[in-house]
C-alpha cells in the first residue's frame, strides 16, 4: 500500500464519517424517522465507503498492471535521485 493509497483511505473515511454525522443530526433534529432508519443510514454509509475504497483500489491496480516494468523502474530511480538532490540542497 502506497502513501497515496493510505491518504486516500484516511481522507475517504473522514469524509464519510462527517457525512454520517450530518445525516444523523438532520434525522435527529429536523426529520422524524423511525429508529431503524438510523441503522440503515449507518449501514448504507459503511457500504458506500467500502465500495468506493475497493473501486479505487481496483483502478489503481489496473493502472499499475498497465505500466510496464522498465518504465516503472525508471520512474522510481528518477524519484530517488530527485529526493537525494533535494536533500543536498537543504
pLDDT for residue 60: 76
**Phi and psi for 28 in degrees, rounded to 5?**
-80, -35
The pLDDT tens digits for 22-81 are: 999 998 888 888 989 999 999 999 999 999 998 988 887 666 656 566 777 787 888 888
Segments making up each domain of the chain, as ranges: 3-89
Long-range contacts of 27-35 (CB under 8 A, 24+ apart): none
In terms of pLDDT, which residue wins out, 86 or 42? 42
9 has pLDDT over 70:
yes
Residue carrying C-alpha cell 525508471? 74
Report the interhelical angle of 35-66 vs 3-29 (nearest 10°).
Answer: 160
d(CA 2, CA 13): 17
17 has pLDDT over 90:
yes
pLDDT for residue 61: 67
d(CA 37, CA 12): 23
Amino acid at each position: 500500500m502506497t502513501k497515496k493509497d493510505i491518504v486516500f483511505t484516511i481522507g475517504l473515511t473522514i469524509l464519510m464519517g462527517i457525512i454520517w454525522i450530518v445525516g444523523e443530526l438532520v434525522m435527529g433534529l429536523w426529520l422524524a424517522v423511525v429508529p431503524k432508519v438510523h441503522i440503515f443510514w449507518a449501514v448504507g454509509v459503511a457500504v458506500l465507503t467500502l465500495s468506493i475504497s475497493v473501486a479505487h483500489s481496483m483502478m489503481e491496480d489496473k493502472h499499475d498492471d498497465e505500466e510496464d516494468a522498465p518504465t516503472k523502474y525508471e520512474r522510481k530511480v528518477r524519484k530517488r535521485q530527485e529526493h537525494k538532490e533535494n536533500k543536498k540542497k537543504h
